[in-house]
């Protein structure tokens, strides 16, 4: 019971720290650092899935993990990609004796002293938007207790990343609105247009040149002209 209370308190502190983290990168870094003591793993990393479904290594507890994760992404094969495509957790109890993926993958991990791993999806909106990977330096390094704690951590990570991403999206949206507003002001002053007319000019230029509205607005603010592409 005391151990359970201690774990509950630790996750409570984690939730508070993640909520207070300034930005997506610090949020993810807090998750991987906490994993080292919560799950008793040797290494941890989080790979974020971009809008085009391209994975990007966002945080790791050891720089060697970046090379390993990027090799899997480049080869387009490995447990990390399985998690992304199938939205399921993947446990690799003994990397040396696992034949599900290419030998190059297992050889690379073993060369770095990694002998077991677990990859957990961090689903947002029903799809894996990130993957948390935990690595052990011994075979069968993740038992039932570690798996249970890892899943709890993944749940916390999912909520934290979703919140951080929402803040990023809102911030980007606010910046875009400000840019469009400034660009509209330039057009209104220069050509004696009202709000609707100025916005129509920006929108038409955006569509005719197949460019995003905020990019068009930024160009007008920076150069005071709208160049055709």
> 150: Cβ–Cβ under 8 A, 6 or more apart, which residues?
35, 39, 118, 120, 132, 134, 142
Same domain, 92 and 183: no
Same domain, 178 and 163: no
pLDDT at 79: 93
21: CATH = 3.30.450.40
pLDDT at 2: 38
pLDDT at 168: 58
Same domain, 79 and 149: yes
**Number of helices (H) and strands (E), helices first, in the chain?**
8, 5
Q: Which domain holds residue 178?
A: 172-223
Which of 132, 154, 170 finishes a domain?
170
Token pair in block for residue 155: 């749940």
Same domain, 83 and 149: yes
Domain tally, the chain: 2
218: CATH = 1.10.10.10
Question: What tens digit of pLDDT does each residue of 44-99 get?
Answer: 998 887 766 678 888 889 988 888 988 888 888 899 889 988 989 999 999 999 99
Same domain, 83 and 33: yes
Q: Cα angle vertex 62, ends 101, 7, to 5°?
A: 95
pLDDT at 177: 76
* Residues with pLDDT less than 70, the chain: 1-23, 51-53, 165-175, 228-229
pLDDT at 194: 86
Residue 85 maps to a domain: yes
pLDDT at 44: 93
Same domain, 153 and 218: no
């Amino acid at each position: 019971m005391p151990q359970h209370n201690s774990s509950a308190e630790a996750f409570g502190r984690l939730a508070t720290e993640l909520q207070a983290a300034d930005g997506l990168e610090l949020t993810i870094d807090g998750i991987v650092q906490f994993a080292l003591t919560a799950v008793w793993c040797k290494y941890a990393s989080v790979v974020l899935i971009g809008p085009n479904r391209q994975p990007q290594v966002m945080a790791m507890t050891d720089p060697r993990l970046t090379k390993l994760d990027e090799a899997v992404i480049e080869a387009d094969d490995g447990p990390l990609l399985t998690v992304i495509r199938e939205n399921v957790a993947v446990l690799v109890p003994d990397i040396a004796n696992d034949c599900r993926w290419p030998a190059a993958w297992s050889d690379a991990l073993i060369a770095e002293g990694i002998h077991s791993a677990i990859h957990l999806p961090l689903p947002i909106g029903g799809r894996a938007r990130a993957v948390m990977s935990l690595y052990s330096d011994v075979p069968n390094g993740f038992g039932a207790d570690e798996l249970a704690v890892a899943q709890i951590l993944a749940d916390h990570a999912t909520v934290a990343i979703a919140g951080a991403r929402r803040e990023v999206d809102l911030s980007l949206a606010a910046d875009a609105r400000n840019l469009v507003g400034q660009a509209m002001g330039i057009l209104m002053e220069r050509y004696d247009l009202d709000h609707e007319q100025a916005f129509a000019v920006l929108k038409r230029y955006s569509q005719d040149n197949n460019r995003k509205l905020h990019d068009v607005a930024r160009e007008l603010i920076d150069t005071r002209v709208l160049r055709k592409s």
